[in-house]
């Protein structure tokens, strides 16, 4: 904890003075372009990976980058998504999974979560991903690392599907004001792959992808 406290002092003395004007502007409101949904894993830093500044991303984090399907029961993710889309007017939503995800390991082996009942219930939102991979590939034919990556990628796809059930998101997608993106981040290599709906596969981030993303922003 000592390095965290000293970090605050360093921020106030060394970082803040050089960005004082930007923070003064942010003090009166925010206008993020992207809702970034990712895992609560301590190894994931959305601003570091995307090289963005405070105010650029509206970030939602939880175990497994889960988006519960819309229901009449209000939850933190539901409210945050609605606020980002309907109130802040974000134009892009990124769901970003990552390598070596503990939540996905739990989703694959739910029997190991008997002492974590709330985690087990939460990861029920990821069951479709595990079942899809099982049906497509047959788990016995995969090694543990391959299995984990496929489930993590499929989970990103399924959470994108869940996003489409949220009224605010569905409305903006229908009018072309919001675009969904599925990413997979490899912690060890820094590689980021993106989901291509046409091929149904994840591919390295390309110039074409970047151009399409920028075109949607205009």
**Numbered residues of the known binding site for Zn(2+):** 39, 41, 98, 101
Residue positions in the annotated binding site?
39, 41, 98, 101
User: What phi and psi values does residue 180 have, to the nearest 5 degrees?
Assistant: -95, 145
For the record, the structure tokens of 148 come out as 């984990």
**φ/ψ bin of 67: left (φ > 0), alpha (ψ from -120 to 50), beta (otherwise):** beta
For the record, the structure tokens of 129 come out as 């991903």
Neighbour-count burial for 27-54, b at 16+ CB within 10 Å, e otherwise: eeeeebebbbbbbebeebebeebbebee
For the record, the structure tokens of 8 come out as 């605050």
Relative orientation angle of helices 144-163 and 127-137, to the nearest 10 degrees: 130
CA distances 109 to 102, 130, 173, Å, are: 11, 10, 34
Q: Is 141 helix (H, G, I), strand (E, B) or coil?
A: helix
* Rounded-to-integer distance, Cα 6 and Cα 196, Å: 43
């Amino acid at each position: 904890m000592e390095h965290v406290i000293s970090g605050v002092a360093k921020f106030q003395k060394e970082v803040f003075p050089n960005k004082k004007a930007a923070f003064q502007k942010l003090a009166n409101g925010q206008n993020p372009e992207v809702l970034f949904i990712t895992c609560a894993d301590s190894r994931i830093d959305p601003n570091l990976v995307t090289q963005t500044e405070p105010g650029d991303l509206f970030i939602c984090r939880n175990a497994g980058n889960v988006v519960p399907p819309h229901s009449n029961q209000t939850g933190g993710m539901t409210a945050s998504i609605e606020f980002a889309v309907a109130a802040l007017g974000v134009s892009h939503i990124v769901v970003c999974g990552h390598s070596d995800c503990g939540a996905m390991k739990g989703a694959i082996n739910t029997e190991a979560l008997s002492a974590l009942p709330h985690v087990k219930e939460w990861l029920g939102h990821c069951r479709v991903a595990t079942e899809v991979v099982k049906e497509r590939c047959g788990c016995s034919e995969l090694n543990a690392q391959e299995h984990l990556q496929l489930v993590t990628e499929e989970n990103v796809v399924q959470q994108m599907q869940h996003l489409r059930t949220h009224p605010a998101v569905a409305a903006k997608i229908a009018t072309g004001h919001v675009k969904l993106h599925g990413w997979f981040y490899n912690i060890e290599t820094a590689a980021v792959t993106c989901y291509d709906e046409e091929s149904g596969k994840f591919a390295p981030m390309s110039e074409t992808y970047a151009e399409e993303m920028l075109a949607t922003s205009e």
